[in-house]
Amino acid sequence: MKTRPFNQVDVFTDQPYFGNPLAVVLDGSGLDDETMQRFARWTHLSETTFVLPPADPAADYRVRIFTPGGELPFAGHPTLGSCHAWLQAGGTPKRQDFIVQECQVGLVKIRRDPSTLRHAQDRPSSGQDGGLLAFAAPPLQRSAPSPAVLAQVAAALGLKAQHILAAQLLDNGPVWLGLLLDSADTVLQLQPDHAALKKHGLKVGVAGAHPAQTAPVLIARTNREARAFSGSAPTSPAETATADFEVRAFAAPIGIEEDPVTGSLNASLAQWLIAEGHAPERYVAAQGTCLGRAGRVCLTRETDAQGSVQVWVGGQSVTCINGTVTL
């Protein structure tokens, strides 16, 4: 065992303890799979990452991503949180325009993205990375779920057919069953049967639009949200920022009943919803409301001069714990 630099980062928030926490071991060299997995179970966070030297010369660093139940090929909030921690630890990108992360899904571009600051009250990140970070969403494969699977999941969520506007199986590394529901209120009122979802073996992401121009603040939107906050008003500026969609992520098959804020899910939802005309090319998703969090994810689809389309997934991060760990 040796002492290794360690951070705990809150992702998709500009205020500590209102986003999705991530444990980052900044030197994972020499650790075997079993040790990484054991430490990820011990942290008991949705994800723990280990930063390593890149195997691909085009990458700035390599990261391995573990949940308490296993390793992931890619995940969004670990991507932004690991990059934030790497930059704060003195990491220097090989290129000025992008940071390049290597993970099991391949190379993922990350950019410092000042243009998305307007989505979060025009405030820079409280970290030292120069503002929001945004990752390029990996290629998405999607298909229609079978009617039988859709019916089983709808029953586990307590949904009736009229609540579901559209559904797709979404695969950008992690696989989600994505559901577009009739409203943000329907999303917020869900009380899933997590045991049933675990039995079906599917991670489920749901999204619903807030009414145009009247997207509410986090507090007092519903009695359920008020109970989540136990009557106390959060102080994060992001919590008063409006959101276009409300998102929730249920991942019982990997040991997480509900994830506070999920970058990979929001990436695949955006790729699907924008392509099908269900969402504009720039929007903000709120996630974590029912857990007392105030996650904000900034989604943007851009088309370059050659006609190539890329969705960018942005958010702020803040370091909450900075120290060492013995592994």
Active site residues: 47
- Two tokens, residue 208: 């619903």
> How far is it, in rounded angstroms, from Cα 65 to Cα 185?
33
> How far is it, in rounded angstroms, from Cα 285 to Cα 211?
13
In 3D space, the residue among 2, 1, 5 whose CA is nearest the CA of residue 324 turns out to be 5
- CA distances to 1, 90, 133, 245, 272 from 266, rounded to whole Å, are 37, 29, 15, 10, 10
* Beta-ladder partners of 108: 101
Element housing 157 (H / E): helix 147-157
- Two tokens, residue 129: 């990375």
Q: Are 122 and 237 in contact (CB under 8 A)?
A: no
Q: Are 303 and 291 in contact (CB under 8 A)?
A: no
> How far is it, in rounded angstroms, from Cα 186 to Cα 208?
7
